[in-house]
């Protein structure tokens, strides 16, 4: 099964998800915007509408979508609009790109539960939208932390 998440710079998110039990593969790329086949430089202009994202292939017998959501929620700030840490722009937004109605339902319930938990004093701004076309990022972005000894 597939899951796709935007949670700021995709390097850290990809590394984290790649190490998660039940995740079979990950790739970084761009999704959610208007420009077909965008480049990193184009996405960085903040004018393509794309988010830096990670597409995950996972085995639902080993990890559920709910468990992947827990990893997602616990490893970025879902209350900052178009920003994660020092990275600012629409490409760094918090987003769940669902692949079917079941994922949408689970994501919405999970977001609601997090919002009501009292963990944050301000609203969770994560968008939950259908997964559009995913464009693979350039090869030098794939497994970036692993390639550079940061993993």
List residues bridging with 83 in a β-sheet. 88
Token duo for residue 4: 């796709």
Specify the 3-state DSSP secondary structure of 89: coil
What is each CA distance from 75 to 38, 48, 64, 69, 113, in whole angstroms? 26, 25, 17, 10, 17
Catalytic residue among 9, 51, 54, 106: 9
Distance CA 98, CA 10 (A): 17
Question: Is residue 44 among the annotated active site residues?
Answer: no
Distance CA 16, CA 72 (A): 9
> Using the 8-state DSSP alphabet, how is residue 77 labeled?
-
What is each CA distance from 141 to 10, 14, 56, 84, in whole angstroms? 8, 10, 15, 18
Catalytic residues: 9
């Amino acid at each position: 099964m597939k899951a796709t998440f935007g949670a700021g710079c995709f390097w850290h998110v990809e590394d984290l998800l790649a190490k998660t039990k039940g995740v079979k593969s990950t790739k970084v790329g761009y999704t959610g915007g208007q420009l077909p086949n965008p480049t990193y430089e184009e996405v960085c202009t903040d004018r393509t509408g794309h988010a830096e994202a990670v597409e995950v292939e996972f085995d639902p017998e080993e990890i559920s979508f709910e468990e992947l959501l827990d990893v997602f929620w616990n490893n970025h700030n879902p209350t900052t609009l178009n920003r994660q840490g020092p990275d600012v722009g629409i490409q760094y937004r918090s987003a769940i790109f669902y692949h079917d109605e079941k994922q949408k339902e689970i994501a919405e319930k999970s977001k609601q539960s997090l919002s009501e938990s009292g963990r944050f004093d301000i609203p969770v701004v994560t968008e939950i939208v259908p997964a559009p076309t995913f464009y693979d990022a350039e090869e030098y972005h794939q497994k970036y932390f692993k390639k550079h000894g940061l993993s």
